[in-house]
Amino acid sequence: MTNTVKTMALCVGLRSAAITVLAGMLAAPAAAEARQQRGPLVLKSASYFYVGGKVDPKGKGNPIVGHMYVEYMIPQRLRSPYPIVMVHGGNQTGTNFTGTPDGREGWAQYFVRRGYAVYIVDQVARGRSAHWNHVYGDVQPARLNQVEQRFVAPERFPMWPQAKLHTQWPGTGRPGDVNFDQFYAAQAVSIASFPKQQEINPPAIIALMEKIGPSILMIHSQSGAFAWPVADKRPDLVKMIVAVEPNGPPVRALQTIGAPDWFKDGTTDKLSGLGEVPLSYDPPLGEGERLSFVRQDKADGPDLAHCWLQKEPARKLKNLANVPVAVVMSEASYHAAYDHCTVAYLRQAGVPTDFIRLADLGIRGNGHMMMLEKNSDDIARVMDRWIVRQITNGRGARKGKKK
């Protein structure tokens, strides 16, 4: 064989190998996309804008700070009287809602197809909302172990009792798997200080709702701490809250330490019970006065955390009294041990709260990142039905409407 022939053979072999690798990378997303079997997404309009923020004259270079990126999709046929504002959780961006690691459409497209206008944000100083470290401070490091343990493959790390039930992540859940790598690549630089995040995000969310009008607020995980201040400040703009495993539990964060104890209480009370931003309680707190809390003597079940509530008589969250809330909880997430505490706290404070346990509806095996998992459409369908019931029954339809 001549050198020229050998070179041609080698090139053909390399090309074949490359095609094989590329086919493997694309196979999972392509197959998943085919399974959705959906027609074209018909939109009246789609674009983006920024809300909130101002020029910081003290910052190096005078950057704009406090602003939030907003992407929107308006369906050709609008059926819902209210748009949905989708706010992602920690270390994530709005891409949580616009697609899945295995190539399917996300919750944003799901709700657009059902006639909702959808607005998807990148939190302040996250993703396409520029982060200036000389303004916002330190950032969190990459956390590969946490991604595996809490989000993608908790069944391999028995850090809480329900973790073994996790089955819905697409792919192997290991680095090197195309679905894992797609998700891990989507992790974004995040401000290290959670109190700082709680300070800067609610004003931007309110600015968005002032621009688009009364809305349904859908939050996930970390952004749960933003929902309550937004609704407290502007209950006229928040028609209902879909809280997908919202930041919790109330009062004291938990340390997940594994068997046999599983959970250990933190040592510091959250200022408002639900976060570090003050909320409007009734009767109001006096100057220098703090809420009083009490811990359950006995947990509600053997695999559940002890809840913290207000000492009775409990003060009421007066501005949330007419804002319907749904807390959505999956079967295998670390939230499965304590989201009932969030529900109990909200109800005690007079907030009309429904608790949607997906496992009770036959939707099983999901973890915390349920919007990215194989049965994400089934979960969206449950939330859609809850929203329609609120609108049909008049809950959240106008200020002052009672349950």
pLDDT at position 403 is 33
Decide: 131 and 139 in contact? Cβ < 8 Å.
yes
Q: How far is CA 204 from CA 95, 114, 194, in A?
A: 19, 27, 16
Q: Report the chain's C-alpha Rg in angstroms.
A: 23
The C-alpha atoms of residue 229 and residue 232 are separated, in whole angstroms, by: 5
Mean pLDDT of the chain: 90
The pair of three-digit structure tokens given for residue 383, joined into one six-digit string: 């939330």
Q: Quote the percentage of the chain above a pLDDT of 90.
A: 81
Which domains are delineated in the chain?
43-245+321-393 (3.40.50.1820)
Decide: 104 and 32 in contact? Cβ < 8 Å.
yes
Decide: 48 and 71 in contact? Cβ < 8 Å.
yes
* Confidence band of 37 (pLDDT split at 50, 70, 90): low
pLDDT at position 257 is 75
Decide: 296 and 348 in contact? Cβ < 8 Å.
no
Model's pTM, two decimal places? 0.89
pLDDT at residue 387 is higher than 70: yes
pLDDT at position 26 is 44
- For residue 229, the SS3 value is helix
pLDDT at position 27 is 46
The angle that helices 3-36 and 178-185 make with each other, rounded to 10 degrees, is 80
Tell me which residue of 342, 325, 346 sits closest to 333, measured CA to CA: 342
pLDDT at position 260 is 78
Q: How far is CA 126 from CA 64, 67, 108, in A?
A: 14, 10, 19
List residues with catalytic annotation.
221
Residue ranges of alpha helices (H) inside 38-185 are 95-98, 107-113, 133-136, 144-146, 178-185
The pair of three-digit structure tokens given for residue 186, joined into one six-digit string: 């989507």
Q: How far is CA 11 from CA 15, 21, 356, in A?
A: 6, 15, 57
pLDDT digits (tens, 9 = 90+) for 248-286: 999 999 987 777 788 889 999 999 999 999 999 999 999
* Confidence band of 396 (pLDDT split at 50, 70, 90): low
The C-alpha atoms of residue 364 and residue 166 are separated, in whole angstroms, by: 8
Bond preceding residue 249 cis, omega within 30 of 0: yes
pLDDT digits (tens, 9 = 90+) for 215-231: 999 999 999 999 999 99
What average pLDDT does range 300-318 have in this prediction? Answer: 96
pLDDT at position 132 is 87
CA 216 to chain centre: 14
Q: CB-based contacts of 281: which residues, under 8 Å, 6+ apart?
A: 291, 315, 316, 317, 318, 349
Q: Exposed, middle or buried, 92 (CB in 10 Å: 0-12/13-18/19+)?
A: buried
pLDDT at residue 398 is higher than 50: no
pLDDT at residue 399 is higher than 90: no
The C-alpha atoms of residue 399 and residue 403 are separated, in whole angstroms, by: 12
pLDDT digits (tens, 9 = 90+) for 329-354: 999 999 999 999 999 999 999 999 99
- For residue 149, the SS3 value is helix
The pair of three-digit structure tokens given for residue 99, joined into one six-digit string: 């697609």
pLDDT digits (tens, 9 = 90+) for 120-167: 999 999 999 999 888 888 999 999 999 999 999 999 998 999 999 999
